[in-house]
Amino acid sequence: MLAGRENIDEELRKIIDLRTEPWGVSVQSVEIRDVIIPKNLQDAMSREAQAERERKARIVLGTAETEIATKFAEAAKAYENNPVAMHLRAMNMLYEGLKEKGALVVVPSTAVETMGLGTITGLASMAKYPAEKG
């Protein structure tokens, strides 16, 4: 109703003009200035607008998830036949987790063995001497 106000104005003008023409009155223009929307209709419109915002947010989130999945697939292909790159990435992930103060990182023993870091005490010693911030 609010979007097509000009069309409604014109329709009302025609209807009123037809009724007043026999009296010799010609209506030149009609303008809707104030629209009172019932409370229950306002609530329904509000719920509809909220649902539309949520729908759009979910579409944006879904699009982001699709883009992330595509990037992860590309990264997996880069690591697939390059064990050195995969090893460096794993070490970087471990480093990022350990450099956070008070962070707890749970690393499977096979990953620790693969990285050649020794036992869990080796990880603890890495956390004791944080890397320089640069």
Give the H or E element holding residue 76: helix 39-80
To the nearest whole percent, how much of the chain has pLDDT over 70? 72
To the nearest whole percent, how much of the chain has pLDDT over 90? 28
pLDDT of residue 134: 46
pLDDT of residue 51: 97
User: Residue 122: pLDDT above 60?
Assistant: no
- The pTM for the full model equals 0.46
98, 105 Cβ separation under 8 angstroms: yes
Whole-angstrom distance, CA of residue 56 vs CA of residue 73: 26
Rounded mean pLDDT, 11-24: 86
